Amino acid sequence: MNLLYRCALLLALAATVRTAAAQLPPLIDRAVFFGDPEIAGSQLSPDGQYLTFLKPYHDVMNVWVKGLDEPFDAARPLTADDRPVPGYFWSEDGRYVLYVQDKGGDENYHIYAVNPSADPATGVPPARDLTPLDGVRAGIYAVPKNTPNEIVVGLNDRDPAWHDVYRLNLETGERELLIENTERIAGWQTDLNGNVRLAVRTTNDGSTEILRVGDDLALDPVPVYTCTVYEACGPTRYHKDGRRVYFETNKGDRDLTELVLFDPATGEETLVERDPEGQVDFGGAEFSEATDDLILTYYVGDRIRLYPKTDETKADLDFLRAQLPDGELDLGGSTNDDRLVKVTVYRDVDPGTVYLFDREARTVEKLYTSRPEVPVEHMAPMQAIRYPARDGMEIPAYLTLPKGVEPKNLPVVIFPHGGPWARDNYGYNSFAQFLANRGYAVLSPNFRGSTGYGKAFLNAGNKEWGTGAMQHDLTDGVQYLIGQGIADPERVAIMGGSYGGYATLAGVTFTPDLYAAAVDIVGPSNLITLLESIPPYWEAGRVIFHERMGDPTTPEGRAQLDAQSPLNFADRITTPLLVIQGANDPRVKQREADQIVVALRDRDYPVEYLVAPDEGHGFRGEENRMAMMVSIEDFLAEHLGGREQEGAPPEIEAKLEAITVDPATVTVTDPMGAADMDEIAFNGAAVKPMKMEYDITMNVQGQEVTLANPTRTVTLVEYEGQPALAIVDRAALPPAMGSAALVDSFVVARGDLTPLYRKLQQGPGSIELTYSGDEIEGVTSQSGQSMPFTSALDLPIIADNQALEIGLSTLPLDVGYAASFATYNPAPGQQGISTYTLSVTGMEEVTVPAGTYQTYVVELDKADSNEDTTLYLDQKTGMTVKNVSTLPAQMGGGTITSELTGMGM
């Protein structure tokens, strides 16, 4: 292209942009879209006397309360957190407002209680942390009406991967353990009285099992309902009869999810409802607070559809539609007597207005508009569209076109949703409206793998990340808009968060010529490191991730995930890229962003990078959010030519400067390297007395030796006045070798399994060790002679052998887990510290004399030695079912193999 022609093209483009800009609505301040709302998240108190809501307090979204009849000016704050409150609710008797909060986005939520009538001595009433456990994530299972001072919660304090069930007293904070979750239960279902009745478990092949919980809180061993990994099923709420339970299921030949009533005692299943239009999955249900009857169902098609289930609810909806004709209706909660109902009316161009509906008086009163500053008349309509994928599949999507300009040759932003097992919906979307106001068309595709459109559409996305159909659906959306004349093919961007961030990175690596700009918000760059670092409490879903994404524990799965990881193809990127990350993100670790930034930097390709040190998987803080949007707006304006608001408030400019990272300063540690390894922290409280029996065979220099009657016992003892565990391995040499007894007795502290005392015996010989701080005092005895010795410890050590294996059963093991540690080797001539690395390299089905087990494969590698051990730990109990160890050369080489033959208490 010659220089004159290039200049003419640029001038023509500039003229087109100026013409379009002149026809667009006024430029709206970005704070209107992304600043904190004036009021949000309101809830009626159970008795209807009060209204709570979220509103800024000291510039942070906190909970406020006012009398229902009081003006909003009379409201008072209930919380004063320095991080926005993500969710709250009233206790059933209205005595407390309960809310959840984490630290810096780590998602380890605590439950707090506030008494609205307490004296606000410091501006707000005091808040009590009901789950004051660091590093523990609380979940709420039930808020029963009949025990208003108690709720049922889950805590993963014993095992980070699994939640035990507690009854929590709101007044005292006391917790009563109901069920210790030793059966890998992912979810619990209570009846309306708060009694745990059902458990939901994911099996090793990804299937879902529903099990009954007896009156004694013991699990029935036989599931009452199952569905495969390619199906969905599960309880949502117990019927008021206390016998049947509402289920959502698409088991069998059903494609769309239906609502059924299921009787766990008989297995009888009765259809309640499926989509009357046969288009989408069951959406949800509303129940009467007063009678617990089903009163409303809804489905999310292109727009939401409501179906009243009682004559009274039908009359209410007819009345509300007559009073509030413009917009979608959302019945968002009622008082315990059903008299007062909170109703929200929203549209694609309007974030919503909240009303109070009095069912007895038949009145509708406006309470507030969440964002009154939004100029509805300047917002852009959202339209539901369908476009064909390359293989003929129809892809549902939403298209938002900038208002006031002809939809021709526009700059476009493709905005894939996160999840990916989620979907976009009709309604007000702050990103879409902001981008449309800047002159961009916005496409929000519900690509394959999105939920709500049936299991066939969902399963069509399995293992189709990046190079497959899920990404092709986005590419085909771009081509559709180009073919319609809507998109300027030279000005298409892709932007998204979480999975949408991954799709952004995949877009610029696997289709590098398609996009002119890209914004990755908390998106993974390497699917293998993503799967290796998922939070422990997602353990139940690991096998589902493997089925839907790819299994990194198999050679084929790992190769597929490597081929779909944008990081491995960063050399293909030719698109300007902005990467945005929260430092405390527990889902997509900062390493995912760091490594793609480093890959581009190291090939001298420019990349922009933001990291907020006090955020997690998305930005909740207003200043962080506003700074992010300033950066995105400037970035898109530079590369796509859209409109841009000049400048920002000084505090936002300062925040943007603070979270902007120079790529030259970014480093990435090896994800399996020592800098990224977990610190061993055993939980001795989780260990119970037990006895295990093994077969042990030694193969040394071509000879096979089988030990006689190997056992391992774990008992509770006291050692020098402190609680301890005695872990004892016993066996005997075969008669041909003298039948000498072999006994290894280890005493460890009950709490953290710190080694205290050890005695190893073989026939008349023994080694006795006493551990004390930074040294070990020992005695070696043989043939009536004793030799004392002392070994200094210049590294912290942990117990090894049988005590180590018991300790491993208490760790949050999953594939990718890695740790380093040191132990003390007491063998004569080898006495001293040995260092190891531990890594969980995969999962494997193992058959031993005791049965067939699904296990984690744990590799213990000894530094500077070929003495290595492979352990196979049962995924349910953590106990070792098989151990294969290589012997050092000085012991003749060979292997020792032990296999579990039985286990009891």
Annotated active-site positions, please? 498, 585, 617
Residue 323's SS3 state is helix
Query: What is the Cα Rg of the chain in Å?
Result: 31
H-type alpha helices, 362-454: 430-437
CA 690 to chain centroid, in Å, comes to: 34
Question: What element of type H or E holds 402?
Answer: none
Count CB atoms within 10 A of the CB of residue 388.
Answer: 12
User: Is residue 889 classed as helix, strand or coil in its secondary structure?
Assistant: helix
CA distance 637 to 433: 16
From the list 609, 528, 605, 608, the residue with the least C-alpha distance to 572 is: 605
Query: Are the beta carbons of 451 and 458 closer than 8 angstroms?
Result: yes
Which tokens sit at 84? 């926005």
Pairing of strands 487-497, 410-414: parallel
Q: Which helix (H) or strand (E) holds 614?
A: none
The CB density around residue 151, as the number of other CB atoms within 10 Å, is 25
Distances, alpha carbon 339 to alpha carbons 143, 307, 358, in Å: 21, 20, 6
Cβ density class 454-470: b for 16+ within 10 Å, e for less:
bbebbbbbbbbbbbbbb
Q: Taking the C-alpha atoms of 452, 454, 456 and 459 in order, what is their torsion angle to the nearest 10 degrees? A: 40
CA–CA separation, 74 vs 65, rounded Å? 9
CA angle 646, 650, 656 (to 5 degrees): 80
Residue 37 DSSP code = P
Pair 97, 151: CB distance under 8 Å:
no
Q: For residue 470, which of 413, 421, 402 has the smallest C-alpha distance?
A: 421
Residue 420: is the preceding peptide bond cis (ω within 30°)? yes
Let me know: does 509 contact 570? Beta carbons within 8 Å.
yes
